[in-house]
Amino acid sequence: MTLLLNRNDVVSLLEMQACMNVVEKAFAELSNGTAVLPLRNSILPPEGLALYMPAYLKEMKALACKVVTVYKNNPAKYNIPTTIGKLLLQNPETGEVICIMDAGYLTAVRTGAASGVATKYLAKKGDNLTAGIFGAGVQAKMQLWAIAHARKITKAYIYDLNFAALDKFVNEMSTKLDMEMIIASSVDDVLNTDIICTATSSSVPLFDGNKVKPGTHINGIGSHTPNARELDEAIIKRSKFIGDSKTACLSEAGDIMIPIKDGVINESHFYAELGEIITCKKPGRVNDEEITLFKSNGLAIQDAAAAKLVYDMAIEKGIGCEVEV
């Protein structure tokens, strides 16, 4: 039998702190050599991007493959999300597919979770920090939710080109998070914060990197194809660059690939993988003046870890529907 979990089931089971805990372990497994993570396959249908993402985490006994698509015009054209997907979870001992689950919400939470973990390790300390969020869509909400688990955020500035999305963000998130939420009147409002997240569907840089203040931590999650970037050369050059995976960053992330191609930096600018910071192989932030940057492309190990967590909880709580496929 295979357990089917729909979006509502996943929403009812997946909490940010628990997801951050397993995502942190997954990055540690990657760094310690107990994860299998082939580079994902991608296909470019006319309207979007389709990704096929397998991973195996030996310690966590999680074997999974996700099919996810990113169609930027979905919200306006069809009133469905930009990012949608489904995931197959397998029993690593037998190979059987034990669960099929919706992976739209799971993708957003595990993407937030990676930024939450990066923020925990890399952002400067303090209990009166401010956040700046570029984007007011699905991922952006999860970014703010996650970083609020890593640091005490008292005020957040949100910037988007879409006013309806901004209103929705503030209405939804102000009931969930205990902080002041302000719709930014300019990009500069966002740049004047301690922790910046870029979570837009833009494929061109969102701001002038020379304007970012010393000590800022940035999570860049929106772009993940070689010709798209949210971050300009200036901020890449000024930052200590930590990526989710070196291989993924150097083959998928325009944010670093374009400056390398233009000769502004070379590959040695890639400082560390997040797992190397978590497992103390390399130091993270060393002072309050450094600008740290976490570049997230989204790894299948995050999905496998989050899906195993959801599945175990579903079994424990008797949630979902068993079917013979």
Residue of 66, 141, 295, 308 marked active site: 66
Site string for ligand NAD, 71-90 (x = CB under 6 A): ----x------xx-------
Does residue 198 bind ligand NAD (CB under 6 A)? no
CB of 3 or CB of 84, closer to ligand NAD? 84
- Measured at CB, which residue is nearest to ligand NAD? 137
Angle 16-32/300-317 helices, nearest 10 degrees?
130
SS (H, E, C) 54-72: EEEECCCCEEEEEEEEECC
Does residue 221 bind ligand NAD (CB under 6 A)? yes
Does residue 247 bind ligand NAD (CB under 6 A)? no
CB of 3 or CB of 139, closer to ligand NAD? 139
Burial of 142 (0-12, 13-18, 19+ CB in 10 A): buried
Applying CB under 6 A, which part among 50-58, 125-133, 171-179, 290-298 lies near ligand NAD?
A: 290-298
Does residue 165 bind ligand NAD (CB under 6 A)? yes
Is beta strand 217-220 parallel, antiparallel or unpaired with respect to 270-273?
unpaired
| Total interface residues for ligand NAD by CB under 6 A | 29
Is residue 236 within 8 Å of 256, Cβ to Cβ?
Answer: yes
Does residue 209 bind ligand NAD (CB under 6 A)? no
Is residue 201 within 8 Å of 222, Cβ to Cβ?
Answer: yes
CB of 78 or CB of 93, closer to ligand NAD? 78
Q: What is the chain's Cα-based Rg?
A: 19
CB of 101 to ligand NAD, least distance (A): 16
Is residue 134 within 8 Å of 199, Cβ to Cβ?
Answer: yes
Nearest in space to 88 (alpha carbons), one of 77, 80, 79, 96: 96
- What are the structure tokens assigned to 153, written together? 């955020």
Name the site residues for ligand NAD (rule: CB under 6 A): 70, 75, 82-83, 107, 111, 134-140, 159-162, 165, 199-202, 206, 221-222, 224, 296-298
Residues that are catalytic: 66
